[in-house]
Amino acid sequence: MRFPPITAQKIIIRQNLTCGKWDPDFVPAELPLPEISMIDVFEESAKRVGNRPAVHYFDQTLTYAQLNDLADRFATLLAGWGVDKGDRVAVYVQNNPQFLIAQYGAWKRGAAVVPLNPMFKEKEVEYHLQDSGAKVLVALDSLYAAHAEKVIGRTDVQQVITTHESDLVSRQTAEKTPLLNQTKKFTPTGTVDLVSALRQTTPDPSVRVAVSPEDIAYLVYTSGTTGRPKGAMNLHRNVAYNANVYRIWMQMGDEDGVLGLAPLFHITGIVGHAALAARAGIPLVLFHRFDARVALEMIERWKPTMTVASITAFIALMNAPEAKQADVGSMSKYYSGGAPIAPSLVEQFERAFGGYIHNIYGLTESNSPTHAVPLGVRAPVDPGSGALSVGIPVPNCLAKVVDLEDPGREVGVGEPGEFAVRGPMIFSGYWNKPEATKNAFHDGYFLTGDVVVMDEDGWFYVVDRKKDMINASGYKVWPREVEDTLYQHPAVKEAAVVGVPDPYRGETVKAFVALRDEYAGKVTTEEIVQFCKERMAAYKYPRLVEFLPEIPKTASGKFLRRELRERSSQS
179 contact partners, CB below 8 Å, separation of at least 6:
165, 287, 288, 289, 291, 294
pLDDT value, residue 464: 63
Q: What are the CA-CA distances from residue 411 to residues 405, 417, 452 (Å)?
A: 11, 7, 11
pLDDT value, residue 223: 63
* CA gap 284, 431 in Å, rounded: 30
pLDDT value, residue 19: 30
pLDDT value, residue 493: 87
Secondary structure letter of residue 304 according to DSSP: -
pLDDT value, residue 384: 72
pLDDT value, residue 566: 84
Burial 81-110 (b: 16+ CB within 10 A, else e): eebeeebbbbbbbbbbbbbbbbbbbbbbbb
pLDDT value, residue 344: 80
pLDDT value, residue 137: 98
- Helix 64-80 vs helix 97-108: angle between axes, to the nearest 10 degrees? 60
Q: What are the CA-CA distances from residue 288 to residues 166, 207, 378, 461 (Å)?
A: 9, 30, 32, 33
Secondary structure letter of residue 81 according to DSSP: T
Domains assigned to the chain:
470-570 (3.30.300.30)
Burial class (CB in 10 A: 0-12, 13-18, 19+), 300: middle
pLDDT in tens, 229-272: 899 999 999 999 999 999 999 999 999 999 999 999 999 999 99
Measure the CA angle with vertex 90, ends 450 and 49; round to 5°. Answer: 90
Burial class (CB in 10 A: 0-12, 13-18, 19+), 514: middle
What are the phi and psi torsion angles at 23 (to 5°)? -110, 100
Q: Can you give the pLDDT of all 571 residues of the chain as single tens digits?
A: 333 333 344 444 333 322 333 344 445 667 888 899 999 999 999 999 999 999 999 999 999 999 999 999 999 999 999 999 999 999 999 999 999 999 999 999 999 999 999 999 999 999 999 999 999 999 999 999 999 999 999 999 999 999 999 999 999 999 999 999 999 999 999 999 999 999 999 999 999 999 999 999 999 998 644 468 899 999 999 999 999 999 999 999 999 999 999 999 999 999 999 999 999 999 999 999 999 999 999 999 999 999 999 888 898 898 899 999 999 999 999 999 876 677 888 888 999 999 999 999 999 999 999 999 999 999 998 887 677 899 999 999 999 999 988 999 999 999 989 999 999 999 999 999 999 999 999 999 999 988 899 998 889 998 766 667 788 888 878 777 788 789 889 999 888 899 999 888 889 999 999 898 889 999 999 999 999 999 999 999 999 999 999 888 754 445 787 789 888 777 6
Please choose, from the candidates 156, 274, 265, the residue with its C-alpha nearest in 3D space to the C-alpha of residue 220. 265
What are the phi and psi torsion angles at 182 (to 5°)? -75, -25
pLDDT value, residue 338: 74
* Cβ-based neighbour number of residue 320 at 10 Å: 16
* DSSP conformation letters of 427-445: ---BTT-HHHHHHHEETTE
pLDDT value, residue 475: 86
